[in-house]
């Protein structure tokens, strides 16, 4: 991910108890001049929309500013692009995420010019796909329809702004861009369910399906039944 001189915001979903890595990459002329900060703003501060936001410093380059918090770590990579420019990457990793880790994370370059990238991290309970595998009967001819569901469970009551996307054989599916696909979202107090209805010839709709709430991905395989009968 490459940032530019403008600020940008990216939403990221993290599953409770999992690990998450956030990265920021930019170009510079001289690696010795690079000064990078990672900062954190708790979701409580964000939701209250205080007039003056409180950002907690996490790292200055590779130096930890929260030595007692061992769940945070930092990596940096420097790659030479040509004789003049290098690509600088900084990766912040959080382990065993909890609800208290939810909020905004900012990567900010101070020299030679200010560049920043902000992540909005939402912590959910789980992401699941149903069914886990689907087999189409071998005698099915003509059009065939499948129904797949992606269930996102969230302990936060009635929070509905989760992005869930569907992919088929590495191609994005959407009701507006694919006339064979229809996607419906249903909401309950603690969950969001995205249901994919996909229609086509049996051989056309086989393959690998992915539901994604970035960076979380869940897979399902749709196959044609073989002629070998089971006992």
Residue 2 lies in a domain: no
64 and 132 assigned to the same domain = no
Q: What is the pTM of this model?
A: 0.80
214 and 134 assigned to the same domain = yes
State residue 60's pLDDT score: 93
61 and 139 assigned to the same domain = no
Last residue of a domain, one of 124, 141, 173: 124
Residue bearing the bigger pLDDT, 71 or 159: 71
Query: Structural domain tally of the chain?
Result: 2
13 and 116 assigned to the same domain = yes
Asked if the model's pLDDT at residue 195 lies above 80, the reply is yes
Integer CA distances (angstroms), 79 to 29, 90, 157, in order: 12, 12, 44
What is residue 33's three-state secondary structure? Answer: helix
96 and 202 assigned to the same domain = no
What is residue 139's three-state secondary structure? Answer: coil
What digits encode the pLDDT tens for the residues 87-103? 888 999 999 999 999 99
Distance in angstroms (rounded) separating the CA atoms of residues 78 and 87: 6
Q: Which domain holds residue 215?
A: 126-224
What is the pLDDT confidence band of residue 138, given thresholds at 50, 70 and 90? confident
Q: What is the CATH number of the domain that holds 188?
A: 2.60.40.10
Rounded to the nearest angstrom, the gap between the alpha carbon of residue 63 and the centroid of all alpha carbons in its chain is: 26
Distance in angstroms (rounded) separating the CA atoms of residues 66 and 37: 13
What is the pLDDT confidence band of residue 147, given thresholds at 50, 70 and 90? very high
Distance in angstroms (rounded) separating the CA atoms of residues 45 and 63: 25
Give 188's contacts (C-beta < 8 A, 6+ positions apart).
none
Q: Which of 10-24, 109-123, 189-203 has the lowest mean pLDDT?
A: 109-123
Last residue of a domain, one of 97, 124, 151: 124
Question: How many Å is the maximal CA-CA distance in the chain?
Answer: 70
């Amino acid at each position: 991910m490459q940032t530019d001189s403008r600020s940008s915001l990216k939403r990221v979903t993290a599953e409770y108890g999992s690990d998450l890595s956030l990265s920021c990459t930019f170009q510079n002329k001289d690696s010795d001049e690079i000064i990078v900060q990672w900062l954190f703003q708790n979701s409580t501060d964000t939701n209250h929309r205080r007039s003056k936001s409180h950002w907690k410093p996490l790292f200055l380059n590779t130096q930890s500013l929260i030595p007692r918090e061992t769940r945070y770590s930092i990596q940096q990579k420097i790659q030479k692009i040509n004789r003049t420019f290098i690509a600088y990457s900084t990766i912040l990793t959080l382990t065993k995420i909890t609800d208290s880790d939810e909020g905004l994370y900012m990567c900010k370059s101070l020299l030679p010019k200010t560049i920043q990238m902000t992540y909005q991290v939402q912590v959910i309970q789980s992401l699941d796909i149903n069914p886990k595998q689907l087999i189409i009967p071998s005698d099915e001819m003509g059009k065939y329809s499948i129904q797949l569901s992606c269930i996102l469970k969230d302990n936060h009551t009635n929070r509905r702004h989760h992005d869930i996307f569907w992919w088929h054989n590495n191609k994005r599916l959407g009701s507006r861009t694919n006339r064979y696909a229809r996607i419906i979202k249903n909401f309950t107090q603690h969950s969001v369910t995205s249901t994919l209805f996909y229609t086509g010839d049996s051989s056309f709709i086989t393959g690998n399906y992915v539901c994604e709430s970035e960076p979380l991905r869940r897979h399902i395989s749709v196959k044609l039944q073989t002629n070998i009968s089971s006992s």
